[in-house]
Amino acid sequence: MDKIISVDGLVKRFEPDLTAVDDISFHVFRGEIFGFLGPNGAGKSTTIKILTTLLKKTSGKVLIDNLDLDGREGDIRNIIGYASQDIGVDDDLTARENLKLQCRFYHVPKQEIDGRVNEIMETVGLMEAADRKAGTYSGGMKKRLDLATSLVSMPKLLFLDEPTTGLDPQNRKAIWDYIEKLNRGGMTIFLTTQYMEEADHLADRLSIIDQGKIVAEGTPSDLKAQVGADLIEVKLKDEMTEEIRDGAIEVIEKIPGVKEVQECEIEMIDCNKVLIIFGDNGGILVPQIVRALDSLNLNIDHLTLSPPSLDDVFLKFTGRKLKVEEVKPPTRRMRRRGRR
C-alpha cells in the first residue's frame, strides 16, 4: 500500500535533558485513519507538531507524501490541514466569516470562496448556524467550526490533535461522525487521542506511545489479540503487604489457564489492593481465583471480568492503565492557518 507518512528514527530533545520523542518509527497509509494513542505527556502532540512543520526535530527522517521534511516544509504545508487542541476561531465573527477569513489566508480564488465555505459548513453540520457569531456557539459547535477551518485548503492529509478532549459523549460522537465522513471522501487522517474507545472506533491502524516510545502498533483487533486472554481485575478489601502480594500471586499463577498476574500500577487510590490477571476462559477462572484468595484469608472488595480491550493492551505493554486527564476548556486564541 502507498505510504503518505513515513517516520524513521524520529527524536525530539528539549534541552538540557528532556527527550519528548525517543527514536520512534511508523508509517501511515494513504486513505486510512491512523490513531496515535497515549496519555498526556507521552509525546503525541510533540510528534504531530513536528509532522506539521510547527516544531523542529532533533534527528530522524520524515517523509510526507514523498516530500522530505528537511527542506520541503512549504510544500508540505500546502497539502495538509491541522486542528490543534486549542480552538482557533474568532468569537466575534460568524462561522461563515471565520471560514472566509481562512480562505483568504490560503489564497482561495474569490469566485470559489462562497461555494467552498457552504460545502464545508454542510460537511460539519453548521449550515443552520452559519451566520451566528462563534461566541454564541456551544463547545461542541466550536470544535466543529475549528475542524471546518482546517478543511479550507482541501488537504490530502488532515492532522487532528485530540479533537474531542473536553467534549461530552454526544458531541464526541458527532465529531467521530464527521471524521468518518471526511475519510470516506478519501482524506487521510492522523488522529492523536487519549481515549481508548475513540481509537478503537475510528482507527484503521494505530500506534500506542508512552514516555516518548512506541510500545505497540497494529490494527485495534490485532493489538487486542496480542493480549490473548481475558482480563480479571481483583480489588481486595485490605492493602497488600509485600508478603501478602507475593503469596496471592503465587497461588493464582498455579491455577491452570492463568497466563500472567500483574500488580496494578494505575495512578489511583488503593492501587496497592489491585491485582490484574490474564487468563483463558475467564468465567471458569473466576471461582478458582476466589477460592485461592479465600485460602489466604484475603477478602475481595470487587472483581471484574472483561474481554481484551485497548486499555488491556496498554496495561500489558506498560504495566499501567492509561489515565485520561481531561483538560480545561480551550481559551479563545486567534491563529492563522495558512502558508507561512
Domain definitions of the chain by residue range: 3-224, 229-307
DSSP 8-state assignment for residue 41? T
**Is residue 79's pLDDT more than 50?**
yes
**Is residue 279's pLDDT more than 70?**
yes
Cβ neighbours, 10 Å, residue 326 = 10
Determine the topology of domain 3-224 in CATH: Rossmann fold (3.40.50)
As a whole number, mean pLDDT of residues 296-318 equals 85
Q: pLDDT band for position 318 (50/70/90)?
A: confident
pLDDT at position 327, please? 44
pLDDT at position 274, please? 84
Rounded percentage of the chain residues whose pLDDT exceeds 70: 92
When comparing pLDDT for 164 and 240, which is higher? 164
pLDDT at position 333, please? 37
**Is residue 329's pLDDT more than 70?**
no
pLDDT at position 246, please? 87
Tens digits of residue pLDDT in 124-171: 889 999 999 999 999 889 989 999 999 998 999 999 999 888 888 888
DSSP 8-state assignment for residue 299? P
C-alpha distance from residue 165 to each of 87, 193, 314, 330 (Å): 11, 8, 19, 10
Beta-sheet strand order (sheet of 205-210): 80-83, 157-161, 188-193, 33-37, 205-210, 213-218
pLDDT at position 313, please? 85
Q: pLDDT band for position 337 (50/70/90)?
A: very low
**Is residue 53's pLDDT more than 50?**
yes
> What are the DSSP E strand ranges found in the chain?
3-14, 18-29, 33-37, 59-64, 67-68, 80-83, 157-161, 188-193, 205-210, 213-218, 230-236, 258-263, 274-279, 300-306
Rounded percentage of the chain residues whose pLDDT exceeds 90: 57
**Is residue 311's pLDDT more than 90?**
no
Determine the topology of domain 229-307 in CATH: Alpha-Beta Plaits (3.30.70)
* Cβ atoms of residues 103 and 113 within 8 Å: yes
